[in-house]
Amino acid sequence: MRLEPKPAPSLGVLLLYPLGAIAATLVFVSLLVLAAGASPFSVIWLVAKGAAGSQFAALETLTRATPLIFTGLAVAVAFRAKLWNIGAEAQLYVGGIVTVVLGTGALPLPQPVLLPVIAIAAMAAGALLLLGPALLKTRFGVDEVVTTLLLNFVVLLFVAMLLEGALKDPMGLGWPQSSKVVADAQLPRIVTGKRLHYGFVLALAAAFAIWVVMKKTVLGYEMRAVGHNPEAARFAGIPVDPVLMKTALLSGGLAALAGFSEVAGLKGNLTLDLSPGYGYSGIVVAMLAMLNPLGVVAAAIFVAGIFVGADAMSRSAGVPSYIADVVVATALLTMVTAILLSRFRVRWR
Amino acid sequence: MEALDILVTTSFWVAAIRIASPLIFATLGELICERAGVLNLGIEGIMTVGAFAGWFTVYSGGDLWTGVFVAAFAGAAFGLLHATLTVPLGLSQHVVGIGITLLATSLTYFTYRLALPQVTSPPKIEPFQPLPIPGLSQIPVIGEAMFSQTPLTYLAFVSVAVVAWVLYRTPLGLAVRAAGENPSAVEAQGISVTAVRMGAVMAGSALMAIGGAFLTMSAFNSFFFQMVNGRGWIAIALVVFGSWRPGKALIGAILFAAFDAYQIRLQQLAGGVLPYQVFLMLPYVLSILALVLVARRATYPKALMIPYQKGER
Amino acid sequence: MGAGAVFAGPAGGPLHLFTKSCMTREAVLRLSGITKRFGPLVANDAISFELMRGEVIALLGENGAGKTTLMNILFGHYVADEGAVEAFGAPLHPGDPKAALAAGIGMVHQHFTLADNMTVLENIALGTAPLWRPRLDRGAARARIRALSADFGLSVEPDATVAALTVGERQRVEILKALYRDARILILDEPTAVLTPGETEALFRTLKLLVAKGLSIIFISHKLAEVMAVSDRVLVLRAGRLAGERVTASTGRAELAALMVGQEVVSPPVPAMRSGTPLLVLSEVSTGGRGTGARLNRVSLTLRAGEITGLAGVSGNGQSALAGVIAGTETLTTGEIEIGGTVVSAWSPREALRRGIGRIPEDRHAVGTIGDMSVAENVISEQYRTARFARHGLLDWAAARAFAEEIIRDYDVKCPSPDSRIRLLSGGNMQKLILGRALDPKPRIILANQPTRGLDVGAVSYVHRRLLEARERGAAILLISEDLEEILALSDRIVVMSRGRLSGASARGERTIAELGELMAGHQGEAA
């Protein structure tokens, strides 16, 4: 078999491909649900209800989507320039560390000043963390996939070390957790009494800002050129290595904002389970969005809905909630296949 | 010099060889894939699948070798999925690899929870037992370290020899090496690049899965979540470190494992001076350093990560 | 072209006179009605012919005429949409190189199909034994390779690693690969493109030995002199169709050229120009080793205003490195670059652009364009930072689109819109966009590296006309081409590159083709 490029189909036809991917995912997951002895239809219904069936469910989904928007953006930005940042998880935790360090009373600043200062410092830390692998890539030719992956483990151990040492909560009864950040370092809630916080608004703003960067700015143009064809970009005088550095800074910073927003907006302190793999799910979010920053918002809400819905469903239907991870991973694979098929015709022989 | 005394104790080398075993399987598996031109980032997930499949087979009443076989088969199945997406369809090996890892891991956890809904602590099995080889295991230190291991460790060493032989001494090995260097050379000689690459990815994935199975069936005796713990990624670094050669990869794996075993012992020795997490970080940091060290002179298989289309040059 | 002397056989006469004697009229290969389409493009249109035992057929045609596609169908890389192939009387299973090899068809590809990390022996033995055999019999293979080498004058060391071989040696390995499998039909795709005239002669001697043993040969080329020297019969392909078939002995170059091009070949008139001031001076420039291409060794070159300097040479002798130096992608290890009287310090593609160098790269797909970006995004790639397209870090897409439309109009590019992906354009249209992009800032210095490779006749003369226009307005142009005819037609001055060194310049008409051929082979009259 061989693949032949085909001209871009109309928008309507183009939308059929992602729908096909979702359908394929549902079929596969339904088989698993059947294996678990439940009815696929009722499980899908329960997941949907659990994700969006009530105000509580919908707000919970948006809350869960918030870090995913940040990590999804981080991955989308990096992958656009073909910088394979698989380390959003580590950058998220670094953002969380900075938030706790600066937010537990170290800076005596009023809230409107303190929050931006902490956010910027967190971004800087995440950016620096990814700068290392990016430099190793451009200077020494070390594959950034492996280095960013390995750094995830290093950073998690570092967090564990801090939580048993420097950042250990003296009132924490020995649990590995940090002290809570002060009230002025907390992101306010959007609806009083609900968990959804202004981190979500920040995430939406970030998505729009990144969309502008990618679409309208010189930097976005450079990043796309470098990602599509670094050799041609270099020939045209686009500074490939500096562009990769800027990409790394932006991507690492975005991922760190996820950590900032989780600590300052939701959890209040740093623990070892701050992220249940948001860094990795961010890859799925970015790919489902076809690396489009606005698409990331939709994809993040979709993925968050699956997780939140599956939690609810699991309690009532007895299907393990890991089904959500299976859905998300399957969706990633079916989606990249669908995108390929929308651009190439498969010819047998 | 207490810290150096460790290096001459037998138990240290026994541990080093044991720690090396899963890495040897995984590194060899990744090496085969990369030699054929496919970067397999599914390794971490495929090892998880292998760890679970082997253990669960034995837990359900199968014998140990059946467990190894089931693990290999499950690994090959995920290898087939990876290969289908990356070889004939030519999708990004980065994205598909991560996707396979996520899928394999989540399917494993799902299946585990489905099979054992209520367990809090994972059930144990009777794992492979050490099988000292008469004569050889009596040689001080080296013999004791090398030849009083479990059969799976011996299998790891045998695999290195077999893979090296196949790659360098057989017609099949020629085809695999050429597929990773210049696939059009393979096609021009009437061999299907697609078949060679897919076969290599499946075989490599089977080895990775056996590496995972080693964890539940030889190193430990039950299945834990996150038990692969980055060993797959370390194996990828070891492939680069070993310049894509089985022998060098073996040495790399043993060196790495010796370091790991050493840091565990040093931890006990230097306990209190440094937080234990610092020691746990070392293997990962070491892998990064090793990559930096060899990166400049690394000669990658030229067609690594480049999809091949028939008739394309 | 007058290169006959270079390609004459040992006794002075053309080779085909020697090969005639052993021919028997038995068809070994029969193609009937082969048609292949790629989307709207018909690459091969109902092509039929027969190849006889002991015969050398030349398949002549311009770049893009469909020669390589036809041979790829024959060898099973592609499957024809219509038509069939018969080898030795039996139908050939389509789309399967294995079937072609089994039928005794061997192919020497234009781009070698060798794995650099393996030895000669391993490359040759690849695929000749069943894959599941537990051991490769190196002894037997080595002996057989040695014997074949001796029989056909193809000397090469079986245990050498391919990465260490010269281009000529690699080609011998390719031929040995086919002979090792007992090929009875040998297809050579543009085999001389990478060879010096001396190596070409050696190749022709080998071909003669092969024909004497009863092998049949299809020789693909676009070089008339070679075709006349080596073949018994010539098939001319034009735009995918068989445009004519001639017996070599009873045709001439003029007739073949007319068949090939389909119209009278008109060289653009090149008015004489007074030599201008030096705009770019390279002195004693060397480059480091990057990749497999040759590096430059103390090369000096002056490009003057209003002058086209043609750079001739066998590919892979350092042309890419020289082009890289001028384009700004290559770093110098010695020497300096002087532009408009000042020596440049930091050198980069961006600096080259800033200094007024317009660049047409050798490979328009890999280097010249970004396939998945739009036409508008591609044409601004060298100027996107200027005030014309960017303000405060924001790009002005309206201006970019307007610029693309301007080039599309001025350069007569066939393209649906500035927003279409450039990958979907034909090679000629892509090249026109690159030309428009490079010439828009009215560069004073122009690097044209293989500017017409793979283009159809119309596009070729268009590119030539544009280059001559730039010369008229006083630009200094370096034209790098493997096509000696192109160099001879356009250049005011010719320099020859061989093994990373440059011969002294000669004015138009000063050196004969034979003399240039000598220089290309590295027999340097004067070191530059």
B298 contact residues in C (CB cutoff 8 A): none
Position A28 scores a pLDDT of: 96
Give the bridge partners for C446, in sequence order: C358, C477
What crossing angle do the helices spanning B193-214 and B151-169 adopt, rounded to 10°? 160
Average pLDDT on B224-235 reads 94
d(CA A30, CA A40): 5
Average pLDDT on C457-470 reads 88
What does the angle CA B181 – CA B183 – CA B184 come to, to the nearest 5 degrees?
Answer: 125
A5 in a structural domain: no
Position A303 scores a pLDDT of: 96
Domain span holding position A139: 38-318
Q: Looking at A295-304, B145-154, B162-171, C501-510, which range is the least confident one?
A: C501-510
Average pLDDT on A74-97 reads 97
Interchain contact B233–A (C-beta under 8 A)? yes
Residue C254 has pLDDT above 60, yes or no: yes
pLDDT confidence bin for C224, thresholds 50/70/90: confident
Going along chain C from its start, the domains and CATH numbers come out as 1-104+184-192+215-262 (3.40.50.300), 278-520 (3.40.50.300)
Average pLDDT on B189-215 reads 97
Residue B57 has pLDDT above 90, yes or no: yes
Instruction: Report pLDDT digits (tens) over C225-248.
Output: 888 889 999 999 988 889 899 999
Cβ–Cβ under 8 Å, residues A312 and A46: yes
What is the gyration radius of the CA atoms in chain B, in angstroms? 20
CATH code of the domain containing A127: 1.10.3470
A337 in a structural domain: no
Residue B68 has pLDDT above 50, yes or no: yes
- Smallest CA-to-CA distance from A282 within A148, A115, A121 is with A148
pLDDT confidence bin for C314, thresholds 50/70/90: confident
Q: Which of the pair, C262 or B45, is modelled with greater confidence?
A: B45
Mutation pick from C373, C380, C385 vs chain A, by most beta carbons of A within 10 Å, is C373
Q: Searching chain B, which residue's CA lies closest to the CA of residue C113?
A: B185
Residue C491 has pLDDT above 60, yes or no: yes
A325 in a structural domain: no
Q: Searching chain A, which residue's CA lies closest to the CA of residue B43?
A: A146
What is chain C's mean pLDDT, rounded? 86
Position C453 scores a pLDDT of: 81
User: With an 8 Å Cβ cutoff, are C131 and B187 in contact?
Assistant: no
Instruction: Report pLDDT digits (tens) over C55-103.
Output: 999 998 877 788 888 988 999 888 899 999 999 999 999 888 899 999 9
Position A4 scores a pLDDT of: 77
Interchain contact C123–B (C-beta under 8 A)? yes
Q: What interface predicted TM-score (ipTM) does this complex get? A: 0.94
User: With an 8 Å Cβ cutoff, are C421 and A8 in contact?
Assistant: yes
pLDDT confidence bin for C527, thresholds 50/70/90: very low
Instruction: Report pLDDT digits (tens) over C325-350.
Output: 999 999 899 999 999 889 998 899 99
- Which amino acid type is present at position B7? L
Position A9 scores a pLDDT of: 73
Instruction: Please count the other Cβ atoms lying within 10 Å of the Cβ belonging to residue C281.
Output: 18
Position C494 scores a pLDDT of: 93
Instruction: Name A98's Cβ contacts closer than 8 Å, sequence gap at least 6.
Output: A118, A121, A122, A124, A125, A256, A259, A260
Average pLDDT on A313-325 reads 91
- Nearest by CB: B185 against C78, C107, C123: C123
> What is the nearest CA distance from C460 to chain A, expressed in angstroms?
23
Position A171 scores a pLDDT of: 85
Instruction: Name B120's Cβ contacts closer than 8 Å, sequence gap at least 6.
Output: none
Position B313 scores a pLDDT of: 41
Mutation pick from C71, C118, C123, C131 vs chain B, by most beta carbons of B within 10 Å, is C131
- Smallest CA-to-CA distance from C324 within C357, C298, C349, C354 is with C349
**Pair of tokens at residue B109:** 């956890």
- Nearest by CB: C367 against A4, A224, A232: A232
A11 in a structural domain: no
pLDDT confidence bin for C526, thresholds 50/70/90: very low
Q: Half-sphere exposure of C237 toward its Cβ, with a 13 Å CA cutoff?
A: 31
DSSP calls for A302-315: HHHHHHHHHHHHHH
Position A260 scores a pLDDT of: 98
A224 contact residues in C (CB cutoff 8 A): 373, 377
B280 contact residues in A (CB cutoff 8 A): 157
Cβ–Cβ under 8 Å, residues B78 and B104: yes
Residue C30 has pLDDT above 50, yes or no: yes
pLDDT confidence bin for C15, thresholds 50/70/90: very low
Q: Searching chain C, which residue's CA lies closest to the CA of residue B191?
A: C127
Position C11 scores a pLDDT of: 39
User: With an 8 Å Cβ cutoff, are C372 and A217 in contact?
Assistant: no
Instruction: Report pLDDT digits (tens) over C150-203.
Output: 999 898 999 999 999 888 899 999 999 999 999 999 999 888 877 877 788 889
Residues of B (118-177) whose Cβ lies below 8 Å from A? none
Cβ–Cβ under 8 Å, residues B266 and B3: yes
A29 in a structural domain: no
Average pLDDT on C498-525 reads 78
Instruction: Report pLDDT digits (tens) over A13-60.
Output: 888 888 899 999 999 999 999 999 999 999 999 999 999 999 999 999
- Structural domain count of chain A: 1
C125 contact residues in B (CB cutoff 8 A): 171, 174
Reported in sequence order, the residue ranges of A136-211 that DSSP labels E, i.e. its strands, are none
Average pLDDT on B290-295 reads 89
User: With an 8 Å Cβ cutoff, are B41 and A158 in contact?
Assistant: no
In this prediction the pTM is 0.91
Residue C1 has pLDDT above 50, yes or no: no
pLDDT confidence bin for C528, thresholds 50/70/90: very low
> What is the nearest CA distance from A146 to chain B, expressed in angstroms?
6
B85 contact residues in A (CB cutoff 8 A): 333, 336-337
Position C24 scores a pLDDT of: 52
> What is the nearest CA distance from C271 to chain B, expressed in angstroms?
40
A253 in a structural domain: yes
Position B295 scores a pLDDT of: 84
C348 contact residues in A (CB cutoff 8 A): 237
Touching C (3+ Cβ pairs <8 A), the chains are A, B
- Smallest CA-to-CA distance from A235 within C361, C255, C441 is with C361
Kindly state the DSSP code that residue C499 receives in the 8-state scheme: T
Instruction: Report pLDDT digits (tens) over C131-142.
Output: 999 999 999 999
Residue C513 has pLDDT above 80, yes or no: no
Position C262 scores a pLDDT of: 67
A10 in a structural domain: no
Is residue C214 left, alpha or beta, with left meaning phi > 0 and alpha meaning psi from -120 to 50? Answer: left
Residue B78 has pLDDT above 90, yes or no: yes
Instruction: Report pLDDT digits (tens) over B247-287.
Output: 999 999 999 999 999 888 888 877 667 888 998 999 999 99
**Pair of tokens at residue A331:** 């969706």
A234 in a structural domain: yes
Position A30 scores a pLDDT of: 95
Position C14 scores a pLDDT of: 43
Going along chain B from its start, the domains and CATH numbers come out as 2-117+138-295 (1.10.3470)
User: With an 8 Å Cβ cutoff, are B284 and A86 in contact?
Assistant: no
Q: Give per-residue burial for A8-37: e unless 16+ CB within 10 Å, then b.
A: eeeeeeeeebbebbbebbbebbbebbeebe
A301 exposure class (CB count in 10 Å sphere: 0-12, 13-18, 19+): buried
